[in-house]
């Protein structure tokens, strides 16, 4: 119901404030209210009593569902705030919210909100603020007047909701009759979704006489999907009414698609499967040629509910042999009738598949940073019919093809190539090859050396080369010194030889002189 608000924003203020000297209280009566002056000692000059610095306001929202009373006061220290209605303290509830916030230094905005206000919420409200230096009050008058009641009536049933069928169940009619003033708005839903008119559904509202309305929904060719809860919402400004009707559509089983054959090679099993539409689980029989298939240890019948009104009917044949080849069909029955599927042929039986086996497995690899890595493994027999799948893992995490990783399988060799390897590629690698008969796997480790290790090795190699070079230079120096010494020794020998020859020459000359002298003397 809408409401009319009348506000009296002329407010009375009551103040208590502080002056110096002795502790005493003075009361002054002014035209707009009572002012109390409370005198305190000068030591309290660090603060001041609360005062309202703006006229209190009452603010409604546009729809009238929320009223806000707002005051603004100045005080130091922050005041205690209490709201009154008459002489009663107003407390927070689900309907009333009270708040206060600091908008600037020593200035506070005080609000009280009333949700869904009504007549009893009217009256005189007072906002009382107080601190150790004094107190102040602001009065707000709220008048709420309800608008005049609207004439008329909310909807009521004249005839209760019902479901009827006609034309052998091909047409379903849901209807009811209501009294309402003014005319109601009608919304039909099915399973929570709004119904719209179509070639299958017609909805009408007819005023048979003043304020009496006949409401009808016609459903043509109902199917299993049309079953469920229907709701008719009937509403005007003065009230609301709901009609709930549950529709159960029972039809003969429907088989829309041809059965399909599924082969399970590992179990050497064939499954013939068909989907049946039926309100309840149908009674099902599979036929091979014209003979009903009897359920036994090898032949098993499964009727599984997929969703409401839909069932998967399966014939499972284990340990199949050539005797199981032939044409199969399904007959599904319920109380309304039966349906026969199209014929499907079991022509091929599951082939014997051998479990894959790895003959040449992965080998562990250690490479330098940035080098290319290649892992490979080979099967003992080639996968000619592409029955095998291959997966690669690093530390139990599956590997996929990326910019740096390529994966290939040619039916016999499984290969993983990593280009521009880094330390992050280090780990345990595993290749898994599988088919319907089983799987085999092989593992190996990859170590990519860090750049620091490579640099250290290079430095070590340089040091070794430097030592070798230095040693060689030292050896060459020693050799040169030895040769020089030999030269010096040779030279000494030559000089000695010359000296000896000179001495010998002198001796010879002396001998000759002696002989000549002897001859002269003779």
pLDDT in tens, 204-226: 999 999 999 999 999 998 877 88
Sequence-distant (≥ 6) Cβ neighbours of residue 301 within 8 angstroms: 284, 286, 295, 313, 314, 315, 316
Whole-number pLDDT of residue 372 = 94
How far is the C-alpha of 398 from the C-alpha of 421, rounded, in Å?
A: 18
Give me 363's structure tokens. Answer: 């080998």
The string of DSSP codes covering 223-280 is: -GGG-EEEEEEEEETTEEEEEEEEE------B--S--EEEEETTTTEEEEEEEEE-SS
Whole-number pLDDT of residue 187 = 95
Whole-number pLDDT of residue 148 = 61
Whole-number pLDDT of residue 20 = 33
Give me 198's structure tokens. Answer: 């179509």
Q: How far is CA 463 from CA 458, 460, 466, in A?
A: 9, 5, 5
How far is the C-alpha of 44 from the C-alpha of 41, rounded, in Å?
A: 6
Residue with tokens 């006229």: 55
Whole-number pLDDT of residue 244 = 92
How far is the C-alpha of 157 from the C-alpha of 177, rounded, in Å?
A: 6
Sequence-distant (≥ 6) Cβ neighbours of residue 489 within 8 angstroms: none
User: For 378, left (φ over 0), alpha (ψ -120 to 50), or beta?
Assistant: beta
Q: Is the dihedral of CA 194, 197, 199, 205 positive or negative?
A: positive
The string of DSSP codes covering 134-167 is: EEEEEEEEEEEEEPPPPSSEEEEEEEEEEEEEET
Please report the domains of the chain, with CATH numbers, ordered by start residue: 48-142 (2.60.40.10), 153-247 (2.60.40.10), 254-346 (2.60.40.10), 358-449 (2.60.40.10)
β-strand 438-448 against 365-367: which pairing, if any? parallel
Per-residue pLDDT of the chain (522 residues; tens, 9 = 90+): 445 555 554 445 544 433 333 333 333 333 333 333 333 433 355 789 999 998 899 999 888 888 999 999 999 999 999 999 999 999 999 999 999 999 999 999 999 999 988 888 889 999 999 999 899 999 999 887 755 666 788 899 999 899 887 776 678 899 999 999 999 999 999 999 999 999 999 999 999 999 999 999 999 988 778 888 999 999 998 889 898 998 877 677 888 789 998 877 666 889 999 998 887 888 999 999 989 999 999 999 999 998 888 899 999 998 888 888 999 999 998 877 888 999 999 988 777 678 899 999 999 999 988 899 999 999 999 888 778 999 999 999 999 999 999 999 999 999 999 999 998 999 999 999 998 778 999 999 999 988 765 666 777 888 888 889 888 888 888 888 888 888 888 888 888 888 888 888 888 888 888 888 888 877
Give me 482's structure tokens. Answer: 């030895």
User: For 232, left (φ over 0), alpha (ψ -120 to 50), or beta?
Assistant: beta
């Amino acid at each position: 119901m809408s409401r009319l608000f009348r506000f009296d924003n002329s407010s009375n203020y009551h103040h208590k404030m502080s002056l110096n000297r002795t502790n005493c209280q003075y009361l002054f009566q002014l035209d707009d209210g009572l002012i109390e002056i409370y005198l305190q000692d000068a030591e309290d000059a660090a603060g001041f009593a609360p005062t309202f610095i703006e006229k209190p306001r009452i603010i409604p929202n546009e729809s009238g569902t929320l009223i806000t009373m707002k005051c603004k006061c100045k005080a130091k220290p922050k005041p205690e705030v209490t709201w009154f209605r008459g002489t009663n303290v107003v407390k927070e509830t689900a309907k009333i919210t009270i708040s206060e916030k600091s908008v600037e230094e020593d200035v506070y905005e005080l609000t009280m909100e009333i949700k869904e206000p009504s007549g009893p919420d009217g009256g005189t409200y007072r906002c009382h603020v107080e601190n150790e230096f004094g107190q102040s009050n602001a009065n707000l008058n709220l008048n709420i007047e309800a608008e005049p009641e609207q004439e008329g009536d909310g909807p009521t049933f004249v005839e209760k909701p019902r479901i009827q069928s006609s034309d052998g169940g091909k047409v379903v009619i849901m209807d009811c009759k209501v009294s309402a003033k003014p005319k109601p708005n009608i919304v039909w839903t099915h399973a929570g979704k709004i119904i719209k008119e179509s070639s299958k559904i017609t909805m009408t509202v007819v005023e048979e006489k003043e304020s009496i309305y006949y409401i009808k929904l016609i459903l043509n060719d109902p199917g299993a999907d049309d079953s469920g809860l229907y709701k008719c919402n009937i509403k005007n400004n003065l009230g609301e009414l709901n009609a709930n009707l549950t529709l159960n559509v029972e039809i003969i089983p429907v088989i829309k698609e041809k059965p399909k054959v599924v082969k399970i090679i590992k179990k050497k099993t064939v499954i013939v499967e068909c989907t049946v539409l039926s309100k309840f689980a149908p009674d099902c029989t599979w036929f091979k040629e014209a003979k009903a298939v009897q359920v036994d240890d090898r032949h098993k019948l499964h009727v599984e509910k997929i969703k409401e009104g839909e069932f998967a009917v399966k014939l499972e044949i284990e340990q199949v042999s050539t005797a199981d080849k032939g044409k199969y069909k399904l007959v599904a029955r319920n109380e309304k009738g039966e349906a026969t599927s199209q014929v499907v042929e079991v022509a091929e039986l599951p082939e014997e598949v051998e479990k894959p086996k790895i003959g040449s497995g992965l080998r562990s690899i250690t490479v330098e940073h940035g080098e290319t890595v290649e892992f490979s493994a080979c099967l003992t027999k080639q996968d000619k019919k592409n029955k095998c799948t291959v997966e690669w893992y690093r530390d139990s995490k599956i590997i996929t093809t990326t910019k740096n990783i390529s994966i290939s399988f040619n039916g016999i060799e499984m290969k993983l190539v990593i280009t521009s390897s880094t330390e992050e590629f280090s780990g345990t690698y595993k290749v898994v090859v599988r088919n319907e008969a089983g799987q085999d796997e092989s593992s190996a480790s990859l170590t990519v050396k860090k750049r620091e290790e490579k640099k250290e090795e290079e430095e070590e190699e340089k040091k070794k080369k430097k030592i070798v070079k230095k040693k060689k230079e030292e050896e060459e120096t020693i050799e040169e010194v030895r040769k020089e010494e030999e030269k010096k020794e040779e030279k000494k020998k030559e000089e000695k030889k010359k000296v000896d020859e000179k001495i010998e020459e002198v001796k010879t000359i002396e001998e000759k002189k002696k002989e000549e002298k002897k001859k002269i003397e003779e």
